[in-house]
Amino acid sequence: MDSNWGTGRAGGGLDGGYTGSLDHAISNLHVGRSQGRQQGRKEGFDEGRSQGYAQGWDAGVVCANQKLEPLRGYVRQYFEEAVQLRAVVQRQKTIIDLMYQQLSQVAGAAKRAEAKPTASESEAFAALQSSNELLKARLEVMDMHYAAALEQSRLRQLQYKRSLVFMRAVQGLLEELVHGDNPEARDIRQRFVKRYQDQVARDLRAGEIQVAPELDEVFGKQLPETQRFIMDMLQSAAPEQDGDESAPAS
């Protein structure tokens, strides 16, 4: 056995085995360092991108909430003014009907006065004329108030439409970000659902709204695409929650 101890490599050298092992170890060291650097760079990049994405999303949500805050007021004012205008129109209709009755009585009294004038009919005719003039004056005032309210409503409706431009741009961007089934899209959907539900709960408690927008029939008629988008976002987050709750016990 001892006679083969020195036959490590050609030429009679005794370090052949050690040299090969050392070269192999050095090669493995370089490979390990290279792989470690690549893995470290990848993990650092992924972590930095995740943190930057989260910070950018949070900042974007804060900015969007600030821009969209006046929109809720415009929507509420729009519907309140619509109700007020309908009430004004109804009051004017009532006054016009009453005025028509008064004018008919005036016309009848005038015909009777021409045929057979009496003191009582003359007094009644004068009273009806006075009442008619009062109704005309009230109608003119109502017309002025109605015109002013209509103009104010028109201006606010224009502002409301301008706000819709921004809201639709934000909605379009969100639709692009949540398109697909990648982890980032799922994360955005979950974040949106949480923030949306929190905002709805706060507005319900504060009395800003009476029902959530996705359940509001009036909101659905005025902004059907936005309501569908909200419902799609809520439904997209539901399967994961349902799946976790209904998973069979192992």
The pTM of this model reads 0.41
Chain segment 142-182, per-residue pLDDT in tens: 777 777 777 887 888 888 788 888 888 888 888 888 888 88
Rounded Cα distance, 176 and 157, in Å? 28
Q: Mean pLDDT, to the nearest integer, of 53-65?
A: 70
Quick check: helix, strand or coil at residue 49? helix
Q: Name residue, tokens 């408690």.
A: 205
- Domain ranges in the chain? 180-238
Report the pLDDT value the prediction gives residue 7, as an integer from 0 to 100: 46
Whether the Cβ atoms of residue 226 and residue 167 lie closer than 8 Å to each other: yes
Rounded to whole angstroms, the maximal C-alpha distance in the chain is 160
Question: Does residue 248 have a pLDDT over 60?
Answer: no
DSSP 8-state assignment for residue 9: S
The segment with the largest mean pLDDT, out of 52-56, 107-111, 243-247, is: 52-56
Report the pLDDT value the prediction gives residue 231, as an integer from 0 to 100: 93
Report the pLDDT value the prediction gives residue 150, as an integer from 0 to 100: 79
Rounded Cα distance, 188 and 177, in Å? 7
Between residues 13 and 131, the one the model is more confident about: 131
Question: Does residue 191 have a pLDDT over 70?
Answer: yes
Nearest Cα to 131, choosing from 155, 100, 160, 108?
Answer: 100
Question: Does residue 239 have a pLDDT over 70?
Answer: no
